[in-house]
Amino acid sequence: MAIVGQIWDTSSLTAPQHELVRQAVEVRSRFPWPLLSPGLLAGNEWSTPGKTVIPVNVRSLANFAQEAAANGWIEGIHYHAIRVNPLTGKLVSHDDAVTSGIVESDVASAVYGLFWFYGLVEVEETLVQTPILFIEVFLAEGAHAIDFYYMLPTGKRGVIHAIMCSGHTKHAWFQPTPYFEMPGEGFMAFPIAGFSDVPVTLQGFSHQAIEPALSLVKKVLVPTIDPPPPPKPVTTRLAMNAQPVGGVRGTKLADFSIKLLDANDAVNVLDNSTQVTVAIQPGNYNTRTVQAINGIVPFIGDIFRNLTGTFYYSVRASNLASIVSDSFIIVAEGTPPPSSEYAEVMTPTGGHFNPTLWVRK
């Protein structure tokens, strides 16, 4: 997906600078950056409504302290840094940055990146020569954009703030907390560690992008959307699990069952509610209703004490088409087969039942 142009305005950049931004947000990062769009359009106390993109600027940030001294604290403009001074190796301290135009002696003179509250990301121009560091710095500043244009308007900042401070001192998200103790600054590492393959080298922050906080923050930022469960199978028809076999009057017939099939003709093993009614026909004898167990409805075999002849089972259930079984014969003891359509039922060892059993061929 072309995130550059949709969220990030790189029109002021050279081709190599643009490519590094593209690599950062479209190749190395998996964060869904379009989540920022509603917040950009809505605006906030620093950013006017109607924004669709965040401009990106690459320039020399070597005069960070001097810029701060010249401007002091301007409402809506936040002078801060994300890393060590590239010239001296010293950590840049936010709360030492300028108040009333006075620069503290230990304020670093240069920074690698800046995020401006009104919606602007700037990256130190010399980092183009170190692409992986450029990408890390850009994603770190992009984390502030996630904060201001996604977390803040959706209420996620408060949840993430609580997670990051669990087991720590409950620092304010930004000022008056000292820079390296600010959860809002430590948060820069979380989208990098959680949504990219870029190594995190940010140093000195009290709130680190490590477990278990990292996984919890990821879940809040981009909740995992589980795929919808497959539709529950629906019973569509009845079927005999096996056809009945006839027998001799006064002798119990074999138990039998009805299976409940879904649209794929598979047993609907999730059906434990369908009630099936079975009766002996003709005559509607011994009508009884049994509830399904895992898609099977079991019935105890009948005993024909006084009747002989040809019978079948009628099977019905609410909202399903009724079915009938194959016919079967009940004979009196010693009765010969009624016709050549019937054959004697033999025992498993090849012997004869006593009394003789007959079944339709």
Picking from 190, 221, 252, the residue at the C-terminal end of a domain is 221
Query: Is 226 a member of any domain?
Result: no
Query: Is 165 a member of any domain?
Result: yes
Same domain as 187, residue 270: no
**Position 110 confidence tier, pLDDT thresholds 50, 70, 90:** low
Same domain as 146, residue 283: no
pLDDT value at residue 182: 87
> What is the layout of strands, in order, in the sheet containing 120-124?
8-9, 54-59, 120-124, 113-116
* Averaged pLDDT score across all residues of the chain: 82
Same domain as 254, residue 147: no
pLDDT (tens digit per residue) in 206-236:
899 999 999 999 999 998 755 667 788 899 9
Query: Is 1 a member of any domain?
Result: no
Same domain as 164, residue 101: yes
- 296-299 and 328-331 beta bridge pairing: unpaired
| Kind plus residue range of the DSSP H or E element containing 131 | helix 131-146
pLDDT (tens digit per residue) in 314-359:
999 999 999 999 999 988 876 555 556 666 666 666 666 555 665 6
> pTM higher than 0.75, yes or no?
no
CA 25 → CA 21, 64, 130, 295, distances in Å?
A: 6, 26, 17, 51
Picking from 197, 221, 245, the residue at the C-terminal end of a domain is 221
Looking at per-residue pLDDT, the higher value among 307 and 361 belongs to 307
Picking from 163, 196, 221, the residue at the C-terminal end of a domain is 221
Same domain as 203, residue 320: no
Question: What tokens appear for 96 in the block?
Answer: 């030492």
Looking at per-residue pLDDT, the higher value among 33 and 247 belongs to 33
Question: What tokens appear for 150 in the block?
Answer: 């996604």
- The boundaries of the domain holding residue 132 are 8-221
CATH number for the domain spanning 291: value is 2.60.40.10
Q: Give the Cα separation of 162 and 213 in Å (integer).
A: 10
Intra-chain end-to-end CA distance of the chain, in Å: 68
Burial class (CB in 10 A: 0-12, 13-18, 19+), 260: buried
Query: Is 21 a member of any domain?
Result: yes
pLDDT (tens digit per residue) in 29-60:
999 999 999 999 998 877 888 999 999 999 98
Same domain as 109, residue 144: yes
Question: What tokens appear for 280 in the block?
Answer: 């002996």
Query: Is 339 a member of any domain?
Result: yes
* Cβ atoms of 215 and 222 closer than 8 Å: no
The three-point CA angle 205-208-213 to 5° equals 150
Same domain as 196, residue 265: no
Question: What tokens appear for 224 in the block?
Answer: 């995992």
- Please give the tally of structural domains in the chain: 2
pLDDT (tens digit per residue) in 71-101:
443 433 344 433 333 344 443 334 333 333 3
pLDDT value at residue 101: 33
Query: Is 129 a member of any domain?
Result: yes
Same domain as 327, residue 205: no
Q: What one-character DSSP code corresponds to residue 305?
A: S
Same domain as 89, residue 166: yes
Residue 240: closest CA among 323, 311, 330, 358: 323
pLDDT (tens digit per residue) in 126-181:
999 999 999 999 999 999 999 999 999 999 999 999 999 987 778 889 877 787 88
Query: Is 228 a member of any domain?
Result: no
Same domain as 148, residue 21: yes
Averaged pLDDT, 302-311: 86
Residue 141: closest CA among 118, 116, 160: 116
Same domain as 261, residue 154: no
* Cβ atoms of 235 and 271 closer than 8 Å: yes
Same domain as 182, residue 94: yes
